[in-house]
Amino acid sequence: MDFYYKPLSSLILATLLLSSISLGEATKKGGVTVDLIRGDSPLSPSYDPSTTHFERLRSSFRRSISRQSSLRSASFKSASKSPDSFEATLTPIGGEYLIKVSIGTPPVEILAIADTGSDLTWTQCVPCTQCYKQRAPLFDPTKTTTYRSVSCTSQQCQSLGSESSSCDRSNGCLYQVSYGDSSYSNGDLAVETLTFNSSTTQESVAFPKVVFGCGHNNDGTFNETGSGIVGLGGGSVSIVRQLETTIGGKFSYCLTTLDSKVSSKISFGPNAIVTGPGVASTPLVKKSPDTFYYLTLEGVSVGNEALAYIFFANSNSKSSVEEGNIIIDSGTTLTYLPRSLYNGLESTLEKSISGRRVADPQGLFGLCYELPSNGEFNAPPIIAHFTGADLELTQESTFLEVEKGVVCFTFVPSEDLAILGNLHQMNFLIGYDLENQKVDFFPTNCSKTQ
């Protein structure tokens, strides 16, 4: 590993130091599990009690639209780039899920966006040429004993690709990432100790020598609550890939429902293994860009066997379905389907639902109904058929009250990139196994299985 050491100024010692264990020790105990905090929930520091439930929903939907556009753009760009080039893919408007992580020695806690559609982990640092407003103090690399800059000739720097890295006068590696909404982060590529506080054992688990970006020039639509991004994508610089040997290439999360008072969880290592009766597994498909987690959706069915089985993109059989035709993403709220598949699904649902159809006041959703006076809306179950895994989606997620008295179908059509969003991942324990190239789903009540 090729590093050079950046001189450190005098250290200011913290009065309290976290007692931490190594990731190896944590792995022997089952790994590490930490909280995932939805950005608009009462558990988030950015929660605004003056906004209504419906206003928060609409804000989440708007972020979902922007993010899908950004991911689509990154997907198309990757087709024309060299295999080793690195492209950031997140539209970080607010962030759907936040994660607490400490950086450095002594550790300094930050709150960052946890993102499966992004690779590079970075935070805002001093000195700051241009930084967006954040509530927490900026990370100061001169006040930690474990910060090391990465040289321009190192493998870590080369993994970013020539379009996302450059060299400074001291042969240090500089990174540049930009996002679909014109947000960006530029700074020094470095290694540092990241520490997570386990929500199950209350122990602090240290991840040494993690490659991250120390951002000195950052701006855009980032929320002032967050101090950066924790990249959980499939690319080589994501923390999942960097820690692959120690955690066995495994992580999982369990997302609670929108009205839950309990935080979601994410686990790394043995704790992340999803096994047992009722687990459905589907292969991960390798495609470009490698940041994304691609699955194969073969079709969708509605209700019982008497209703039509709608094949993906109106193909004639499972054998003609393109592999890796949908990505699973924790940062997108809604689920996006190709228009041909969506149209067939909407038509089938309309025939099987008795109710007064109304227009979505905001014009986003195509299939909406008036909520009955008794507050009970009935719709047939929807089953998403992935290769080897049939997932029955709950009505609470497929039809949502988006305005007072208006219930809408929470799938939307897409002309290109298909995405399984987090709304339809809620109340599933979802395990990513990069070693065996699969994703496991287990239906559960995430609020009660914490």
Nearest C-alpha neighbor of 112 from the set 210, 13, 245: 210
| Residue 389 CB coordination number (10 Å) | 20
Q: At a CB cut-off of 8 Å and minimum separation 6, what does 272 contact?
A: 31, 247, 250, 251, 252, 431, 432
Report how far residue 410's alpha carbon sits from residue 394's, in angstroms, rounded to the nearest whole number: 12
End-to-end Cα, the chain, rounded Å: 39
Known active-site residue 181: no
DSSP, collapsed to helix, strand or coil, labels residue 241 as helix
Catalytic residue among 40, 115, 290, 433: 115
d(CA 67, CA 179): 10
Token pair, residue 267, equals 């686990």
In 3D, which of 376, 294, 385, 372 has the Cα closest to residue 345?
385
**Who contacts 17 (Cβ-Cβ below 8 Å, separation ≥6)?**
106, 107
Please say if 433 is a catalytic residue: no
Query: Tokens 């610089």 identify what position?
Result: 237
Rounded to a whole number of angstroms, the CA Rg of the chain reads 22
d(C-alpha 89, C-alpha 95), whole Å: 13
Find the catalytic residue in 181, 329, 433, 440.
329
Tokens of 110: 């930050």
Catalytic positions, written as ranges: 115, 329
